[in-house]
Structure 1
Amino acid sequence: MTNSLINETSPYLLQHAKNPVNWYPWTQKSLTLAVEEDKPILLSIGYAACHWCHVMEHESFEDQVTADIMNRRFICIKVDREERPDLDKIYQTAYQMLNQKPGGWPLNMFLSPEDQLPFFGGTYFPPDARHGMPPFKVVLKRISDHFRQHREELKEHKQQMMAAFSSITENRSSSSTVSLANEPLELAASALQETFDPVHGGFGGAPKFPHPTNLERCLRHAYFCNNEHTAKLLLELCRFTLNRMSEGGLYDHIGGGFYRYSTDELWMIPHFEKMLYDNAQLIPLYLNAAISCDAPEMFATADNTCAWVSREMQSAEGGYYSSLDADSEGDEGLFYIWQADQIKKLVSPLQWKLLKSRYKLSGKANFDGQWHFHALKTIQAVSKENKLDEAAVEKEIAEAQKILLQARTSRIRPGQDDKILTAWNGMMIGAMAQAGDALGKPEYIHSAERSLAFIRKYLWDGSRLKVSARNGKSQLNAYLDDYVLLARGIFELLKVRWSTDDMQMLISLIDSMLEHFEDNEYGGFFFTSDDHEKLLTRLKPDADDAIPSGNGVATQILLIVGHVIGEQSYLDAAEKTLRVLWNSINHYPVAHGSLLSALETHLSPPEIIILRGEE
């Protein structure tokens, strides 16, 4: 028995196609059905690699009793947040308004049928009373009863919600009197130093995310600032954090690539999903830090991550897949963890001795009675302890890692979300192009070219983009992020090898972005195009989250390409964006790293040298 999701292409939606819940995709048909049946909408948003999404599906959405309540009392709509970030951004914002705290996934919002305004929301709901949370079945009944019995009260609540959404877009009028200066740059640098964890690296406590935009801000500020002491502090902060991340359990020491985040402040035990967008940001970060921080060991981390991308995340046709799941065989991390005896049987006695020393594979195991690799000793310390030179230690450990990688391939793999997303591919195109150039590995540049060729074939019609492709089918009109992140990726590719066709595509992307996404009255860019489906609101995102903000990257690419080709209209649009978002930048500078990078470029325009000729 299947529901309406069986006809979708998203792996996440297809995961729910055999639930007893009568799920619908977000379509006009499902929204109309809610009005006709006068039922509230249960909107559930998640993604394929999300561990807690799987947990809630197993506990509640696969449970017949729970499904019966959902089907009887609600119109249930499932959304893949990676395909519909427009809906995710709106309803995550609504969740914060309702609950006064950040949301997450799975996001479960309850909406009025006639206008899709939310009146209640939560993230993960347990099947039984737990940690002060009521059972999901009780929540469903209470919300359904409240909807039926308090319609007038809900009308008043909805008016307040609409006013709150309207306030988000207020105070966004561009002003020619705003003085664009470097004060936010200094404030952001100070804030990053204040929140830095000097013991373990990174920012704040557990759970600990890599925050690549913050680390990039450290590198850029160190380069641009005139204070030598501040520059040294920021470079050391960045070097220390990146080394702790790559030595820690956030990094896959056997196969390369980074997991989503660490559950502890030590960077030891991660949530094991691997996301394309995280790795697309961390590759250039490690490449740049290797030079800026005089840390050549970081080249190897970037190289191994690129090798993982090429090996496991690129389709036969060239597009990069979206993610690898945290779970396999129903358990989180099972694919990646080891029994000590398993390792000992596979490697040589010397290799076992060195691995045991570097990763402390003795005593109490660090993850559910098994070992997840987390380096507790440096190569130098292992070398000294075993009276071997460092090169020999590195060689033996690398050989052991290859043996373990080969052994790991026989395990049941985590699920893979194999849809190809334009925005994330744009990020990885830029990362692989930079890596190929910095590491002297043309195969990485070729990998980037293959991804771009896939996008040309399936996701680009010469003037407009689509969001995603899977099994030869592309869908959904693209968002701001798709245009700007692909444009930046193409620009990075052009920096390492020239293509007139790619340059023309880059300019077409920018022109289409200006035509369909720019706020012509005030400046800046909306997340959705002018011909997009009408939703609750049209957001103009300025702060970075897991990926850089669309307005930040748009401003960067307008400035860079505007200077390169001498297009004043691009430079004007960039300046107008900085002005309209100036209050937000000043209010919380550290959250606007990508816009701060654009501000630096605006304040210190690059010197352009043009070489003309056949080559």
Structure 2
Amino acid sequence: KFPMPAIWLFTLDYALLSKNEDLKEKVFFTLKKIGMGGIYDHLRGGFARYSVDGEWFAPHFEKMLYDNGQLVELYAKAYQVSGDHFFLEKVEETIAWLEAEMLQEEGGFHAAQDADSEGVEGKFYTWTYAELANLVGDELPWLNKLYNLKPNGNWEDGVNILFQTESYSLIASEFGMSEDDLKKKIKQVKNSLLEVRNQRIFPGKDDKILSGWNAIISSGLIQAYHATGNHHYLQLALNNLDFIKEKLYQKDLLYRSYKNGHHYTPAFLEDYSQVIKANLMAFEASGKLAYLEFAQKLSDYCLEAFYDESDGFFFFNNPKAEKLIADKKELFDNVIPASNSGMARNLHRLSIFTYEEKYGEVASKMLGGMKSLILKEPGFLCNWASFLLESLVPTAEIGILGKGAQEKAIGIQRGYQPNAIIAWSENMTETAPILSDKKPDSDGNALIYVCFDHTCQKPVSSIEETISQLPYLA
């Protein structure tokens, strides 16, 4: 079983825009089961690629960058919507793992961690009962129940995978503790077990840095910043995007791979698509025009080098740059969303930020070409379905201008609003086109404009009034 983040990102947006509480709870239920499963590394954070059973219990222990970036984004949104600290825990622990074990000194993230160490899959992550009993002492009874530990092992070869099936609140009440006390104990036990685990031989690592996968991490980090207000997450994301621009963007070309100070292989559409998305998110979060300009520059290059006028979709590779046996187009969303669906959504957003219709026209044509297929096979076209949803409910264009604009933007972004984009500036200079016709109030204080298709509602000054102007699925 693969987590498939694009499916749950779409389903969450659909539940919110259609005000379907039952569906929203089903999304949260699924995310809880994944986060409680053995597929999640309960000591260090981070998700494995997939589980080999139906309960998310026994993973293939490999951790991939692209899964974890998307899952951080998804769990951050789940936390924003629900306020449930279980989702926050997964976000914070996964980012802690990324920073501790995957970040290299220049600001890029390594691609993957292997499943094997010492030639045995999962050896690094699993425990014998005797080991755990010896290490945790009196804490064993509740730990036993929390993680389904068995004296002869709950997995093969007599070892245990940490696998949570009961909520913290249930364990706390069963063992006569408050939930806060249990959480403190869990933290202490995790830290002591992690100390021991860190002395083991680590799994191997794929230490190349891929531009597209790194951008996926940056998108997740930016969403985590919105969810938590933790500025460190935003800084990690911006450092990473600056690293991509500095090291993997040379002579007006994006490259796919970087290692030991060298860049390799001109980027594919997948890389461009993810880097554009992350830069658009960085513009919304930081207010710095350079991120929007870079996203636009990369988009213009994609239209020039990858776009096929004949059918309105993009090639995966640049057909002018290299001759492959066949020039393919990636249309179906998989564990990583299709590069074409990513580009369609990027161009839709870019057209709103820049007021340049050409981007929106290409995006609409792409969606038109996929619509009947989306309705037939939504499970394999969930990022496309998210874009279809964005076209059914008009995208809210939120522009904020004046003193206090950043604070208001942060307030709006703190609660997750699907299908809305935000641009803000404290002053009138160097603004993006979306802000060019906006003004502060007579005292220079920020006003919030909610617009649809460049037509604005009456400007407001509070976050509540802003939210009340956002549309839902009829």
TM-score category of the 2 structures, normalised to the smaller one:
0.7 to 0.9
User: Across the two proteins, how many residue pairs are aligned to each other?
Assistant: 403
Q: Any stretches of 5+ residues in structure 1 without a counterpart?
A: 1-207
* SS state at 2:87 partner: helix
Maintained 8 Å contact 1:303/1:439: no
- State which structure, 1 or 2, has the greater radius of gyration over its C-alpha atoms: 1
* SS state at 1:257 partner: coil
Name the counterpart of 1:214.
7
Give the Cα separation in 1 of the matches to 2:100 and 2:91.
14
Give the Cα separation in 1 of the matches to 2:35 and 2:6.
17
2:25 is the alignment partner of 1:224: no
Write out per-residue CA displacement over residues 419-447 of structure 1, whole angstroms, 9 at most, x where no aligned residue.
00011011111111111231122111111
Q: Which amino acid aligns with 2:329?
A: K
Write out per-residue CA displacement over residues 336-376 of structure 1, whole angstroms, 9 at most, x where no aligned residue.
01112222222351x32321121132343122211110013
Maintained 8 Å contact 2:129/2:151: no
Q: Which amino acid aligns with 2:200?
A: R
After TM superposition, give the deviation of residue 417 of structure 1 in Å: 0.4
2:300 is the alignment partner of 1:511: yes
Name the counterpart of 1:434.
223
After TM superposition, give the deviation of residue 242 of structure 1 in Å: 0.6
2:65 is the alignment partner of 1:272: no
Give the Cα separation in 2 of the matches to 1:526 and 1:586.
23
Identity, % of aligned pairs? 33
Maintained 8 Å contact 1:434/1:496: no
Write out per-residue CA displacement over residues 538-588 of structure 1, whole angstroms, 9 at most, x where no aligned residue.
121111112011111111111112112211000001011112233432442
Name the counterpart of 2:74.
285
1:525-536 equivalent positions in 2, closer than 5 A: 525-536=314-325
Correspondence for 2:245 among 434, 453, 456: 456
* SS state at 2:6 partner: helix
2:384 is the alignment partner of 1:592: no
* SS state at 1:388 partner: coil
Root-mean-square deviation (CA), in Å?
1.6
1:340-419 equivalent positions in 2, closer than 5 A: 340-349=129-138, 351-367=139-155, 368-419=157-208
Give the Cα separation in 1 of the matches to 2:396 and 2:126.
50
Name the counterpart of 1:544.
333
Correspondence for 1:246 among 3, 12, 35: 35
* SS state at 2:112 partner: strand
Name the counterpart of 2:450.
none
Give the Cα separation in 1 of the matches to 2:168 and 2:305.
53
2:106 is the alignment partner of 1:317: yes
Name the counterpart of 1:556.
345
Give the Cα separation in 1 of the matches to 2:36 and 2:25.
16
After TM superposition, give the deviation of residue 454 of structure 1 in Å: 1.6
What is the TM-score normalised by the length of structure 2? 0.82
Name the counterpart of 1:336.
125
Give the Cα separation in 2 of the matches to 1:362 and 1:377.
16
2:367 is the alignment partner of 1:574: no
After TM superposition, give the deviation of residue 383 of structure 1 in Å: 1.1
What is the TM-score normalised by the length of structure 1? 0.64
Write out per-residue CA displacement over residues 269-320 of structure 1, whole angstroms, 9 at most, x where no aligned residue.
1000000000111111111122334533211111111111111111111101
* SS state at 1:610 partner: strand
Give the Cα separation in 2 of the matches to 1:570 and 1:530.
21
2:294 is the alignment partner of 1:502: no
Maintained 8 Å contact 2:77/2:223: no
Give the Cα separation in 1 of the matches to 2:333 and 2:357.
27
Give the Cα separation in 1 of the matches to 2:17 and 2:396.
14
Give the Cα separation in 2 of the matches to 1:391 and 1:553.
41
Q: Any stretches of 5+ residues in structure 2 without a counterpart?
A: 403-424, 427-474
Write out per-residue CA displacement over residues 108-154 of structure 1, whole angstroms, 9 at most, x where no aligned residue.
xxxxxxxxxxxxxxxxxxxxxxxxxxxxxxxxxxxxxxxxxxxxxxx
Name the counterpart of 1:607.
396
* SS state at 1:538 partner: coil
Give the Cα separation in 1 of the matches to 2:227 and 2:91.
10
Q: Which amino acid aligns with 2:147?
A: Y
